[in-house]
Amino acid sequence: MKHLITIVGPTAIGKTALSIALAQHFKCEIISCDSRQFFKEMTIGTAVPNQQELESATHHFIQNKSIFENYTVGDYEKEALEKLEELFQNNDFAILIGGSGLYVDAILKGFDEFPEINPEIRSQVNSNYEKLGIEYLQQQLRNLDPDYYQKITLENPQTLQNPQRMMRFVEVCIGTQKPYSSFLNQKKNNRNFTPILIGLEAERQIIYDRINQRVDIMMNEGLLEEAKTLYPNKALNALQTVGYRELFSYFDEDFSLPFAIEEIKKNTRRFSKRQLTWFKRNENTKWFDYATPKSEIISYIQSKI
């Protein structure tokens, strides 16, 4: 039996340290599932594991892509499953770690299948978005699939600001004459491993304090300079990310630097709440306080094998 030990939880909760401890105990390798740590140009603002951490266990999907590549969650699903198949040939365990709920779901459950969409429809939706902005896409989805629009609003509101994903929802609705949500949950994808889900959590104020401290550390480590090098490419999808967007607004002279830093902290705190909402949906996850001894978590995993 192959087991994929999956570690989830809000940002800054300690997932990296736990993943390394588990990788060393089970003598296995780590698959990163953080949708921003894929990009080699983004280091400080995405809290990529440091050199010592990377050397403590073998990691995959860390800074393996460029922000200039069009890398989708579907691409990640395909590549990560191929890597897992390779790892499971020599080991009964692997570790999946990350705070990107959609990407975790892609590995554990897979995606639904959608019909091919006429490229002319895609082009028209894109053209309308360029003329009318994100509000056009939001209104279209609200009209064409009100149930899914409501679900996103409640569970993952930042998606409403993501033009790539919103264009996809709208083009499917228009191209198929059916709601996007009608194609969801149609089938179960078979996986050749059994997931063991571990969640890390803490009291809200502890999470917020850890986030605030992490942002201060990032600024001290050079996040402002890193953002400055990325600023000319600020329109890229990969850079629509907390920690960079706010500093771009500082460079645009819309924010003062102290205000931009406070915005990073505030938006990261909001993001952590959404992460917890997403991950708490899965009833199979065993939640531990972030300060739980790692030996206790290892004992739980061994009881599930």
Q: Which residue is listed with tokens 């931009």? A: 260
Q: Is 117 annotated as a binding residue?
A: no
What's the CA gap between 297 and 235, in Å, rounded?
A: 42
Q: Is 243 annotated as a binding residue?
A: no
- E strand map for the chain: 3-8, 30-32, 59-60, 93-97, 194-201, 286-289
In eight-state DSSP terms, residue 39 is B
What's the CA gap between 182 and 186, in Å, rounded?
A: 8
Q: Is 74 annotated as a binding residue?
A: no
What's the CA gap between 103 and 140, in Å, rounded?
A: 25
What's the CA gap between 275 and 101, in Å, rounded?
A: 7
Q: Is 258 annotated as a binding residue?
A: no
Structure tokens at 142: 């609200």
Cβ-count burial of 194 within 10 angstroms (0-12 exposed, 13-18 middle, 19+ buried)?
exposed
Q: Is 15 annotated as a binding residue?
A: yes
Residue 16 sits at the vertex; the CA angle it makes with 13 and 21, to the nearest 5 degrees, is 115
Q: Is 11 annotated as a binding residue?
A: yes
Q: Is 12 annotated as a binding residue?
A: yes
Q: Is 45 annotated as a binding residue?
A: no
- Terminal CA-to-CA distance of the chain, rounded, Å? 8
Measure the CA dihedral 92/97/101/106, to 10°. -40
108: region left, alpha or beta (phi > 0 left; psi from -120 to 50 alpha): alpha
* Signed CA dihedral, 36, 40, 46, 52: sign only: positive
Annotated binding site: 9-16
Annotated binding site for substrate: 11-16
Annotated binding site for ATP: 9-16
